[in-house]
Amino acid sequence: MTSVRSTTSYSHVNISEPETRHLRQRLEVEITWLSRQMQELKGANESPDISLLQTYREMIFSRRALLGRIPR
């Protein structure tokens, strides 16, 4: 009988604590900037660009997901 192996594998990268802190800080700065951009776009007098709003939402979502996977 042949065993089937999972094709999903996770590799862990060993990076230093300062590098981890820097990456977390950079992601937090980007999330803040994107959130502000999105709020400014929503607050504009003209009708907001819906596709740009969605792009901001997706960018924020992906950065939060990555941030959640980085060890503290």
Pairs from 55-59 (Cβ < 8 Å, separation ≥ 24): 59/30, 59/34
Helical ranges in the chain per DSSP H:
17-43, 50-69
**Per-residue pLDDT at 12:** 64
Each residue's pLDDT tens digit, 2-48: 544 544 445 566 788 999 999 999 999 999 999 999 999 988 768 88
Q: pLDDT digit string (tens) for 47-68?
A: 888 999 999 999 999 999 999 9
- Nearest Cα neighbor of 67 from 38, 32, 36 is 32
CA dist., res. 39 & res. 65, Å (int)? 21
